[in-house]
Amino acid sequence: MNGALTELLERCRAAGLALLVEGHSLHVNFEKDPPNDLIEEIQRHKPEVMAAPSSGPVRMAEVIAPARWVPGAGGNCCSEPPFEMPCPERRGVFARRDGVFLHFCMECGRWGAYGYGATGAKPGRWYCRMHRPDE
């Protein structure tokens, strides 16, 4: 990986961005609005970012569950488990909570990072990394 790309990915990490390459799409997850210049740079270097290895000196792609920005997402002893843990009661659940769209794996109830058939009009089907279909 070249130095400029490594620097860009480090800037993404420092800004709290998680980049996820899925097929020909590059998804950017974030907790707070990222700087516009950083998003523009990611767009300019999309081919290089998508070709970067997902591990090594810079871990480029991390799927994140919104534990830090959704109330109750962390779980506690008296309620549902954390989003990264299986939960049969959450299987296939999708909801809007405080302006955030929540979606859980159809198979196990973990955070569903991979959506299929989701549009603004319909929620689609969501899966965790372990149960993601080969589509």
pLDDT in tens, 94-122: 887 766 788 899 999 988 888 888 887 78
| Coil, helix or strand at residue 44 | helix
Q: Phi/psi zone of residue 53: left (φ > 0), alpha (ψ -120 to 50 degrees), beta? A: beta
Length of the chain: 135
Indicate the domain borders of the chain.
Answer: 3-51, 67-135
What digits encode the pLDDT tens for the residues 59-97?
444 444 555 445 555 554 446 788 878 899 999 988 877
> Helices 36-44 and 3-14 sit at what angle, rounded to 10 degrees?
140
Q: Which residues contact 90 (CB under 8 A, 6 or more apart)?
A: 80, 104, 105, 109, 110
Element (H, E) at 101: strand 100-103
Q: Can you give the pLDDT at residue 53? A: 61
**Average pLDDT, integer, range 20-47:** 77
Whole-angstrom Cα distance, residue 28 to residue 8?
13
**Average pLDDT, integer, range 35-39:** 84
Average pLDDT, the chain: 75
